[in-house]
């Protein structure tokens, strides 16, 4: 039953159906829909369009009130959201390990008060738990949307009041333009902020409002009276949304420029339905099935992710096609229960019953507010208790050993503390740590494992030798490199590259220490080209490569909490990477041709090179890692010290011999 004061738009429900299905298929790990998360961008555009239309309709009839607007939003969004959070909390108590349970409690409390996007923003980073183990991660988008609801009505009321002097069309265009540019620029500075925070997403809501007013201009009305124009626009818009979900991959910088195509495509579809005349392709969105999926899309969006996460957590992160189909069926069942049992029941009551009178309506509104506050306070209280309650987590773990969220956070701080002692390449010619005198200079470079290599060196070689460690700062953050005439360029880290190839630095560099996850994969190809360009300039530099160790399929802290022992982190069923085994070794041969020394941690730390014999904690019982592959500083330092004890004079001996590149040059010169 629809509110008779607003015209029903079947195309909007159809567009919602496309958006939610893309998100669900992406979260079910269907490879073809690698960019299905752009469905959220479509939702933002729809919200901007629809909410602006609702507010403006009320303003035109002089019936808009903030109280009515927010009560309707509460009834529309909160019952289903609170039911989802409650179900997720109950499921998490049965399934999640202590650390992940605490994290869930924190995100649940934030989701109740529409702030989960801030929580996930501040948690983002390499040390954060894998997103596939956060059952309420998807509520970040609801946080952004609800923050939009707080801001937009006031702005629209102001614009409507002064509309004779300020054009709403022009204003929404300017907000869109400025916001879109801000999102793109922030993507290069802080990608997580551009993704999670409302100021960098506002342009998607404002472009929805802009589309609403643009579609009312006479020029656009005349253009879209033509059926051919409407059909072409619908087709291009849908192909833009669905097609782009195929093209976006994990290598795509997002938001960045990639956020614009699906956003604009959604606007094109909305404009295409400016008038109600049927067309050849309009049925794609207005048919009964699409409209029905659109109507249940909110419940489907809410329920699908907790179901997927809790199932993967309790079984296996990698879904088979049978599991994908089974989860799809469970998601649909959960959607129907949530939509018809909660969402629809509460939202229908949002439509005023004129026969019951104003007094009855005020009484019901007061009841809605009181019940909402009560449920919100209760849910938030339970969630905060789970978040802060270590005894509960310890009881749930079922063993005497517990790694808490505080320990994980402390480990991150420790790693950053040691890292700060290094000389930053970006400030090599001005930073005080780079001015310390030394006999040997070593560049430590790699991806997020660069810190592992740094910690491996500081307790042995850096202490025994007059060795200066210069940190590059995560080669992966450079995104991509261009190699032109023996020069290396990258928009994201050009200062570091300029310093890297500055003769004042390069001519005095003795060693490159390469520490990266799977050093011979595609990223290793970029590193190889950089090293090769450096060795062309200074062939006396020696290259040392630190081999991989162990990678688990879920965070090691979770395995320890479940089993009570670090040994669970080396069980074959939990290990997906060991040493340099695996298919991604495309650059191993070219690396071997230039590597002067290779540190095989898999053989050094594992007797006979066997996984079951691997060292997984320090003598003090500190595990090798809390996440899936980044070593804790004490473990990395311990293993580095052990290696130094067996190879104390490695660097000195290497300095006595010509580098492999120099020997190759001498050999070719002799020939």
**What is the CATH classification number for the domain harbouring 509?**
3.40.50
Residues 58, 163, single domain; the answer is yes
**What pTM was estimated for this model as a whole?**
0.78
Find the mean pLDDT for residues 510-525. 86
Is position 175 within any domain? yes
Return d(Cα 523, Cα 500) in angstroms, integer.
18
- The confidence band for 580, taking pLDDT boundaries of 50, 70 and 90, is low
Of 326, 358, 392, which residue is a domain's last?
A: 392
Residues 275, 244, single domain; the answer is yes
Residue 406 above 70 pLDDT? no
pLDDT, position 316: 73
Residues 382, 424, single domain; the answer is no
- Coil, strand or helix at 304: helix
- Contacts of the segment 284-288: beta carbons below 8 A, 24+ positions apart: 284/14, 284/234, 284/238, 285/10, 285/11, 285/13, 285/14, 285/15, 285/17, 285/18, 285/234, 285/238, 286/10, 286/11, 286/14, 287/14
Residues 49, 147, single domain; the answer is yes
Is position 3 within any domain? no
Return d(Cα 110, Cα 133) in angstroms, integer.
17
- The confidence band for 260, taking pLDDT boundaries of 50, 70 and 90, is very high
pLDDT, position 201: 96
Residue 77 above 50 pLDDT? yes
pLDDT, position 528: 86
Find the mean pLDDT for residues 115-122. 92
Residue 507 above 70 pLDDT? yes
Return d(Cα 235, Cα 232) in angstroms, integer.
5
Tokens standing for residue 139: 């509520």
Return d(Cα 642, Cα 457) in angstroms, integer.
11
Is position 1 within any domain? no
pLDDT, position 576: 87
pLDDT, position 671: 42
The count of other CB atoms within 10 Å of the CB of residue 432 is: 8
Residue 621 above 80 pLDDT? yes
Find the mean pLDDT for residues 293-310. 96
Print the domain residue range for 543.
405-670
Is position 662 within any domain? yes
pLDDT, position 160: 81
- Note the helical H segments in 61-167: 66-95, 98-112, 116-123, 139-161
Residues 339, 474, single domain; the answer is no
Q: What mean pLDDT, rounded, does the chain reach? A: 85
In eight-state DSSP terms, residue 339 is: I
Residues 340, 462, single domain; the answer is no
Is position 493 within any domain? yes
Find the mean pLDDT for residues 351-375. 61
Is position 309 within any domain? yes
Residue 396 above 50 pLDDT? no
pLDDT, position 301: 97
Place of tokens 């540019």: 181
Residues 275, 186, single domain; the answer is yes
Phi then psi for residue 597, to 5 deg, are: -150, 135
Find the mean pLDDT for residues 568-583. 81
Find the mean pLDDT for residues 206-221. 91
610-621 burial: b if 16+ Cβ within 10 Å, else e: eeeebbbbbeee
Residue 288 above 50 pLDDT? yes
Residue 494 above 80 pLDDT? yes
* From 28-32, 250-254, 401-405, the region with the lowest mean pLDDT: 401-405
pLDDT, position 346: 79
Asked if the peptide bond before residue 635 counts as cis, ω within 30 degrees of 0, the response is no
Top-confidence residue, 165 or 169: 169
Residues 6+ apart with CB under 8 A from 398: 562, 564
pLDDT, position 137: 95
Of 359, 392, 425, which residue is a domain's last?
A: 392
- Note the helical H segments in 162-287: 168-189, 191-196, 202-214, 218-223, 227-247, 260-272, 283-286
In eight-state DSSP terms, residue 445 is: E
Top-confidence residue, 525 or 206: 206
Place of tokens 């500075």: 189
Residues 6+ apart with CB under 8 A from 181: none
- The confidence band for 253, taking pLDDT boundaries of 50, 70 and 90, is confident
Q: Among candidates 431, 457, 429, which has minimal Cα distance to 443?
A: 457
In eight-state DSSP terms, residue 30 is: -
Residues 419, 367, single domain; the answer is no
Is position 411 within any domain? yes
**Percentage of the residues of the chain whose pLDDT score is greater than 90:** 46
Residue 124 above 90 pLDDT? no
Of 351, 368, 392, which residue is a domain's last?
A: 392
Residues 387, 505, single domain; the answer is no
* From 67-76, 319-328, 522-531, the region with the lowest mean pLDDT: 522-531
Residues 430, 352, single domain; the answer is no
* From 259-273, 306-320, 378-392, the region with the lowest mean pLDDT: 378-392
Residue 273 above 50 pLDDT? yes
Residue 30 above 70 pLDDT? yes
Residue 1 above 80 pLDDT? no
Residues 549, 621, single domain; the answer is yes
Which residues are registered as beta bridge partners of 546? Answer: 515, 599
Residues 637, 547, single domain; the answer is yes
H or E element in which residue 58 lies: helix 39-60
Residue 300 above 60 pLDDT? yes
* From 150-154, 565-569, 579-583, 599-603, the region with the lowest mean pLDDT: 579-583
Return d(Cα 192, Cα 378) in angstroms, integer.
31
pLDDT, position 520: 83
Find the mean pLDDT for residues 413-427. 72
The count of domains in the chain is 2
In eight-state DSSP terms, residue 216 is: T
pLDDT, position 417: 53
* From 340-349, 597-606, 657-666, the region with the lowest mean pLDDT: 340-349
Asked if the peptide bond before residue 583 counts as cis, ω within 30 degrees of 0, the response is no
pLDDT, position 277: 63
Is position 77 within any domain? yes
CB 491 within 8 A of CB 466: no
Residue 49 above 90 pLDDT? yes
Residue 356 above 50 pLDDT? no
Residue 64 above 60 pLDDT? yes
- The confidence band for 19, taking pLDDT boundaries of 50, 70 and 90, is very high
Find the mean pLDDT for residues 127-137. 74
Residue 252 above 90 pLDDT? no
The count of other CB atoms within 10 Å of the CB of residue 87 is: 19
Find the mean pLDDT for residues 190-197. 92
């Amino acid at each position: 039953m629809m509110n008779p004061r607003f015209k029903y738009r079947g195309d909007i429900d159809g567009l919602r159906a496309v958006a939610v299905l893309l998100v669900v298929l992406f979260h079910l790990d269907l490879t073809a829909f690698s960019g299905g998360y752009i469905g959220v961008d479509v939702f933002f555009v729809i919200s901007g369009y629809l909410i602006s239309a609702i507010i403006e309709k009320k303003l035109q009839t002089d019936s808009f009130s903030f109280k009515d607007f927010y009560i309707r939003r509460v009834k529309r969004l909160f019952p289903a959201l609170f039911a989802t959070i409650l179900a997720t909390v109950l499921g998490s108590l049965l399934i999640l390990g202590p650390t992940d349970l605490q994290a869930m409690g924190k995100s649940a409390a934030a989701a109740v008060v529409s702030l989960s996007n801030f929580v996930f923003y501040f948690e983002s980073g390499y040390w954060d738990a894998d997103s596939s183990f956060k059952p309420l991660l998807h509520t970040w988008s609801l946080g952004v949307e609800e923050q939009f609801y707080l801001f937009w009505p006031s702005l629209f009321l102001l614009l409507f009041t002064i509309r004779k002097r300020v054009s709403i069309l022009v204003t929404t265009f300017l907000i869109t333009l400025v916001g879109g540019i801000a999102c793109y620029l922030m993507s290069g500075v802080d990608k997580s902020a551009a993704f999670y925070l409302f100021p960098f997403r506002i342009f998607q809501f404002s472009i929805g409002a802009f589309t609403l007013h643009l579609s009312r201009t006479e020029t656009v009305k005349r253009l879209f009276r033509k059926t051919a124009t409407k059909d072409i626009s619908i087709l291009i818009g849908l192909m833009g949304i669905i097609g782009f979900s195929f093209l976006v991959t994990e290598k795509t910088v997002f938001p960045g420029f990639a956020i614009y195509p699906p956003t604009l495509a959604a606007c094109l579809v909305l404009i295409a339905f400016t008038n109600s005349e049927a067309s050849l392709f309009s049925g794609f969105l207005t048919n009964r099935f699409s409209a029905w999926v659109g109507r249940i899309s909110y419940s489907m969006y809410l329920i699908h992710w907790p179901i997927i996460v809790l199932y993967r957590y309790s079984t296996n992160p990698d879904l088979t096609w049978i599991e994908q189909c089974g989860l799809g069926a469970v998601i649909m069942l959960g959607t129907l229960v949530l939509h018809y049992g909660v969402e629809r029941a509460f939202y229908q009551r949002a439509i005023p019953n004129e026969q019951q009178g104003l007094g009855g309506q005020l009484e019901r509104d007061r009841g809605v507010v009181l019940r909402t506050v009560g449920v919100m306070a209760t849910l938030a209280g339970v969630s905060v208790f789970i978040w802060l309650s270590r005894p509960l987590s310890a009881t749930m773990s079922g063993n005497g050993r517990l790694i808490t969220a505080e320990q994980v956070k402390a480990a991150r701080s420790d790693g950053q503390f040691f890292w700060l002692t290094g000389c930053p390449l970006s400030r090599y010619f001005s930073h005080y740590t780079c001015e310390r005198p030394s006999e040997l200079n070593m560049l430590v470079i790699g991806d997020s494992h660069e810190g592992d290599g740094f910690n491996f060196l500081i307790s042995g070689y850096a202490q025994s030798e007059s060795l200066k460690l210069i940190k590059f700062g995560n080669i992966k953050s450079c995104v991509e490199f261009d190699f032109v005439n023996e020069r290396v360029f990258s928009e994201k880290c050009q200062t570091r590259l300029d310093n890297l190839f500055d003769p004042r630095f390069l001519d005095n560099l003795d060693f490159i220490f390469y520490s990266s996850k799977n050093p011979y994969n595609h990223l290793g190809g970029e590193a190889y080209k950089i090293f090769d360009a450096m060795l062309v300039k200074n062939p006396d530099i020696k290259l040392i490569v630190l081999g991989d160790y162990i990678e688990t399929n879920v965070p090691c802290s979770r395995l320890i909490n479940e089993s009570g022992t670090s040994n669970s982190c080396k069980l074959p069923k939990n290990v997906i990477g060991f040493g340099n085994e695996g298919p991604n070794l495309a650059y191993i041969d070219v690396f071997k041709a230039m590597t002067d020394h290779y540190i095989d941690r898999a053989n050094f730390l594992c007797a006979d090179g066997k996984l079951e014999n691997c060292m997984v904690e320090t003598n003090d019982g500190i595990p090798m890692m809390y996440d899936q592959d980044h070593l804790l500083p004490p473990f990395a330092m311990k293993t580095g010290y052990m290696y130094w004890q067996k190879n104390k004079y490695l660097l000195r001996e290497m300095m006595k011999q010509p580098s492999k590149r120099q020997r190759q040059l001498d050999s070719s010169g002799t020939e």
